[in-house]
Structure 1
């Protein structure tokens, strides 16, 4: 199980989710069925999902760095 691949997939999913919501928000004037409150929540959730996956990447990088430090000593 590769945490970087999983996190990358999560980043891409969060980005796609945010972009889709942003497109719906941009069409809000032409499409009366768009709920601005729902789209705001979706965008905040996508931002949080993106941040969480970025955190996984940072932790994985720190773990690899620690492992390499242990092996060189």
Structure 2
């Protein structure tokens, strides 16, 4: 199902964004701290949204299998 691959790539992208922001903050803690905090919050929200897509797709697949069984 396409939703699984889209959500998985979204989770990977959000994780990479969060990691990159955390690394930039670790290197220079006071350089643009507010922007990096916003970036990490956005990455967290994106990860949660993609996880919700995965849960919904999983539920829909389960419902479809129940109907077909």
Q: Which runs of 4+ in 1 moved over 2 A?
A: none
What's the CA shift string for 1:27-73, capped at 9, x where partnerless? 125xx6x200000000000000000000000000000000011111x
Q: Considering only aligned residues, what root-mean-square deviation do their CA atoms show, in Å?
A: 1.3
Structure 1 unaligned spans of 5+:
none
Q: How far apart, CA to CA, are the structure 2 residues paired with 1:16 and 1:64?
A: 28
How many residues in Structure 1 have an aligned counterpart in Structure 2? 69
Structure 2 unaligned spans of 5+:
none
Q: How far apart, CA to CA, are the structure 2 residues paired with 1:68 and 1:9?
A: 25
Compare the two structures and name the one with the higher helix fraction. 2
Given the alignment of the two structures, is residue 59 of structure 1 paired with residue 56 of structure 2, yes or no?
yes
Alignment TM-score, normalising by the size of structure 2? 0.94
Bigger Rg over Cα = 1
